[in-house]
Structure 1
Amino acid sequence: MSPSHSSQRSGRLRSYSRSALALFFVLAGANHFRSPEVYISMIPQWLPAPVLLNQISGAAEIAGGCGLLFPQVRKHAATGLILLLIAVFPANLHVAIHGWDGMEIPRWILILRLPFQLLFMAWVAYAADWKPSFSLKRNFGF
């Protein structure tokens, strides 16, 4: 197998992965509007405006998923999705600790969901060929 053939195959795999991920985020984001009660019940009580937070996260998932499909904004979309996955982690942690209101899901499954946030971040980074642009040396002179 020649290096160019391997590179083409890798590029196709990344493209398919990106399309699947984009579809996943668009459908998941749309579900925030279709079944908001599922997501609102995950939001810790100490956070304000759970309905608005649900709408913002749903819209961000849709925008990020769509953005992955356009090379001009793909890296920005990936950054946004990774930040979104970090931002919604408290909701996932909340349900792992306290259970998910209205859902009959065993606690061990809710706990097992937590590491998947990291896998989703890695998938986003891979699909978008994303690398963090933050550098202590460049940003702070260290």
Structure 2
Amino acid sequence: MNEPWDLYVMAAMYIVAGILHFVKPKAYIRIMPKYLPNHRELVYASGLAEIGLGIGLCIPQLKNIAITGIILMLAVFLMVHFYMLRGEKEGAGIPKWIL
């Protein structure tokens, strides 16, 4: 357990966020860009990715792979955030400064 505590906090945040994709999928589906197909499946896939990458952060042998995966995942998620900035409906009422 020589890893910094904040790594485990980050892992827990990704795991919880990933679980929420399955518990509250509608919250994620409504912010999906209209041009992407299969919204529900993409929400579930991204939830699985977040859970897997969060777990990977806790396994020393997988930590660097998980970090790379998180960077790539966040780069892909940027398209959702740019879409949400288009308007109030697309942003689901979330203030722009949060996005």
Q: TM-score, normalised by structure 1?
A: 0.63
Q: Which segments of 5 or more consecutive residues in structure 1 lack a partner in the other structure?
A: 1-11, 114-142
Structure 1 segments (4+ residues) deviating >2 Å: 98-106
Paired residues, number: 98
CA root-mean-square deviation: 1.8
**Which of 57, 60, 63 is the aligned partner of 2:46?**
57
**Which of 60, 76, 94 is the aligned partner of 2:65?**
76
In the other structure, the counterpart of 2:84 is: 95
Mapped to 2, the partners of 1:100 and 1:67 lie a distance apart of 35
Q: Alignment identity in percent?
A: 32
Kindly indicate whether structure 1 or structure 2 has the higher relative contact order, using CA contacts under 8 Å at least 6 residues apart: 2
In the other structure, the counterpart of 2:6 is: 17
Q: For residues 59-95 of structure 1, what are the alpha-carbon distances to aligned partners after superposition, in whole Å with 9 as ceiling and x for unaligned?
A: 0000000000001111111111111111111111111
Q: For residues 114-133 of structure 1, what are the alpha-carbon distances to aligned partners after superposition, in whole Å with 9 as ceiling and x for unaligned?
A: xxxxxxxxxxxxxxxxxxxx
Q: Which segments of 5 or more consecutive residues in structure 2 lack a partner in the other structure?
A: none
User: How far apart are residue 32 of structure 1 and its match?
Assistant: 0.5
Q: Which has the higher helix share?
A: 1
Bigger CA radius of gyration: 1
User: How far apart are residue 103 of structure 1 and its match?
Assistant: 3.6
